[in-house]
A = this chain, B = another copy of it.
Amino acid sequence: MEEIERTDEPVVYDDLVEKRTDELMELLENRNMKTLKLRMDEMQEYDVAEFLSSLQDNRMPMLFRLLSKERAAEVFANLDAPEQERIINSITDSELAGIVEELYVDDAVDMMEELPANVVKRVMRTATPETRNLINQYLHYPENSAGSIMTAEFVDLKKYMSVKDAFARIRRIGEDKETIYICFVTNAHRKLEGIVTVKDLLLADPETVIEDLMDRNIIFAVTTEDQESVSAKFSDYDLMALPVVDKEGRLVGIITVDDIIDVMEQEATEDIQLMAGMTPSDKPYLRTGTVEMWRNRIPWLLFLMLSATFTSMILTSFEDMLAVQAGLVAFIPMLMGTGGNSGAQASTAVIRSLSLGDVEPRDVLRVMWKEWRVAFLCGLTLAVINFGKMLLVDGMLLGNANVTVSVAATVSLSILFIVMFAKVVGSFLPIAAEKLGVDPAVMANPLISTLTDAVSLLIYIYVAKLILGI
């Protein structure tokens, strides 16, 4: 922070980080390892991890080994799987054991889930039996469940302790806990009886008994609960940590808010990927291989391409009819596009509201009624503007003789119906999916577009029959 005082320029944190990284690079090039080690010890673990990741050669594991044991574990937890693997492959068994013991269980489990099997084996072999058991137990919780993201390092107290006793215990065992600020009061059977914060403890008299101080009205999660529901609790109740209990109500772990931030990013990414018709993956873009990307993307593309067979069949069977009135074909892409976009707006709005908890499946009728009205307004606006535009631009300006008043009316009336169909169906499908236990995000743009493509075409054909009498 001294930089802030030395200069009159506004200081931005990222500039400081960049300056420091440049300095590290210089030290590295001058092989000034002693100063380098000193600098790395002062820096944030995340920044050290970023710096190490930027070194693509074997200087990376070398510098890593300069770090002190405890810091090494913290930096290690901040690295991505490929870098973790490179480091594991270049350190001794005892160094590896040291890091694994220092890691929080949730970070160790995260790592195990990403590493290749042979590396996992080596890590497990070097870990102590207790750590090995703990990791194994955590690996057995379903993916994305509260159990799989919790950690075992929390402070537990008993209700008969005094505030003074509690502080003594926190001082004794607090060093390695993920949080010491929320303490969990358990009985002899490890059942959770209350929660007390360090703030409560600090503001209370040292002789007060925990029982008189603790909050019995506890927000908790069960091990099998989905991480999306867990993160909703953090957001609703502004939590710092959430206890996780097993089916019998025994406290087995806690989830801290920093892990929830990762969960929220991951869940939003997953939704966004699903919405664009991709298999979700939490691998960073540049780390994902070409074949893996192909595998994530091809299923939906294939499914949607084949589904378009229906649209082709409709077009084929009405080809003669459409040919009678020249010019009708030219507006098919616009109608399909408008239908797709209208449906995507509705489905996206509903999908996001479902995942934020703003909309529940029981609101289905309110949602569809709202979409019906919005669709009417949108459809009407588009129809009126399109009618004028077709006559003025396509007809007069571009001199397209096919564009008569009846053709313009046919296209415009179709727009109104198509938008209304697309928005009502687009809002209904995600809610139906949620009810059926399917991820609503699947019902987004690609699927809705393909569905509305076929229906838009049918609407257009029947409106044309009606107005143009063909």
* CB-CB nearest in chain B for A204: B171
- Interface size on A, as a range, is 35 or more
Partner of A236, one of B46, B180, B337, B398: B46
* CB-CB nearest in chain B for A49: B236
A window 381-418: CB within 8 A of B: 381-382, 385-386, 389, 393-394, 398, 400, 402, 415
Chain B neighbourhood of A160, CB < 8 A: none
* CB-CB nearest in chain B for A331: B312
A4 and B44 contacting across the interface, CB-CB below 8 Å: no
Binds B, one of A23-31, A136-144, A444-452: A444-452
Partner of A382, one of B275, B305, B311, B378: B305
Partner of A356, one of B192, B194, B260, B265: B265
Chain A interface mostly? helix
Count the copies.
2
A window 28-80: CB within 8 A of B: 42-44, 46
Can you identify 8 A-B contacts, CB atoms within 8 angstroms? A13-B233, A198-B202, A235-B261, A239-B258, A285-B358, A301-B345, A313-B330, A333-B453
Q: A interface vs B, CB < 8 Å?
A: 1-2, 4-5, 10-14, 42-44, 46, 167, 170-171, 174-175, 180-181, 191-194, 198-199, 202-203, 216-222, 225, 229, 233-240, 245, 247, 249, 257-258, 260-262, 264-265, 268-269, 271-273, 275-278, 284-286, 290-291, 293-294, 297-298, 300-302, 304-306, 308-309, 311-313, 315-316, 319, 322-323, 326-327, 329-334, 336-338, 340-342, 344-345, 347-353, 356, 358-359, 363, 366-367, 370, 373-374, 377-378, 381-382, 385-386, 389, 393-394, 398, 400, 402, 415, 419, 444-446, 449-450, 453, 457
